[in-house]
Amino acid sequence: MLIRFIYSALLILIAPFFLYKLYKRKEGKPSVGKRWKEHFGQTPKLNNQSVQPIWIHAVSVGEVIAVTALIRALKKQMPELLIVLTTTTSTGAEQAKKLIPLVEHRYMPLDFNFAVKGFLKKIKPRQLLIMETELWPNTLHNVAKKLIPIVIINARLSQRSADRYAKFPAIFNLLAGNISKILCQHQDDAKRFTELGINADKVHVTGSIKFDIEITPQVKNAARALRSELGTQHPIWIAASTHQGEDEQVLAAHKKVLQTFPNALLILVPRHPERFNEVLLLCQRNYFSVIKRSMKNKITANTQVYLADTMGEMLILLGAADICFMGGSLIGDKVGGHNLLEPAALGIPSLTGPSYFNFTEITKQLNNADATTIIHNANELAEQLISLFSNSEKLQQQGQSALKIVQQNQGAILKTLQQLQLT
């Protein structure tokens, strides 16, 4: 109780900084608008008040995309099931809109007792599913107090995070005591949870639902159309989900690629929409011929960079490329990489920097199958790209190996549904 009181006091102090970052207007970033009240528990009632919903929390875009296949499976199994999907960010909200009418979207209340209680009073969920490991002490406490089961789905716990929790066992116990089940991606994740003191009966390995990624015919058709538009006769690579400090290295690599393949095209996809214009200026300052996707200008023979300044089109953009470099991996240990399964599911070989601790098991599997290559700087990135573009047989073989890894690991959604026991 004392620990949670101290935590709540600290939360009051840091909340203004968090809210400033959350609400700060940036070009390309959707606005929360009048819905800001939802963060404080003033949540609109559901359209259907007669059924207790399942509450799924997915903090932002990546988590919403990852949980989409599970939502579709839940609705297929139980068409009458009401699902409330919460996100914290406005970009997550934009992604969640694409799932209507499968879900009703609300903003996640901030972790203040009054905000969480206000949300629970309006929504009255019968179960809370938290995507990955988005754990908030007051939320968990208030939900558990109402005897609402809490299940962590697709849970992962890196060694780095486990070591941090181990230094503050009282805080971890405060979180863990309210959790009903933890459905882990990998055996290593489960082992770390149990080593921290979670009852082994609560911990299950269901695999990563991200392997159950669904590439719809619509996505495949859109990717083929984009590739046709960009050109089928020249090499194309994509730098996906890049961060500040990474775009410079990507562009440096592309300069080297252009020396060997003058007609090569880079699809550049910054992770955060507020950086779209910043990256555009960076390309122009480095004398690249660049076209923005949002402008819908036709690609010319001189175009060197195609800047993807739109949201929610990653699979389409990946499907139009020959090779993927996954961002968040070449800027030290700030980010820890992003998910390599999307290019793998499309049969595309990938390259990643050495910082991939958020996706260690997935990256290791792909690397062991020669489906991804770990590079350490712009020079190595350029060398690998040139090597693959020069060897179409190797490029195709790596893509097939990537797809095979995805197919071998599918089935996590079925195992997750069995553990949820919602029927």
**Residues forming the active site:** 63
CB contact at 8 A, 350 and 326: yes
What's the CA gap between 38 and 34, in Å, rounded? 9
Q: Which two tokens stand for residue 126?
A: 């019968």
What is the 3 state secondary structure string of 57-124? Answer: ECCCHHHHHHHHHHHHHHHHHCCCCCEEEEECCHHHHHHHHCCCCCCEEEECCCCCHHHHHHHHHHHC
Closest CA to 326 of 29, 21, 32, 62: 62
* Residue corresponding to tokens 């968040």: 328
How many CB atoms are closer than 10 A to CB 205? 17
Beta sheet of 236-242, edge-to-edge order: 290-292, 305-307, 265-270, 236-242, 323-326, 350-352, 372-374
Amino acid letter, 398: Q
**CA pair distance 77, 86, nearest whole angstrom:** 21
To which residue do tokens 């290791």 refer? Answer: 364
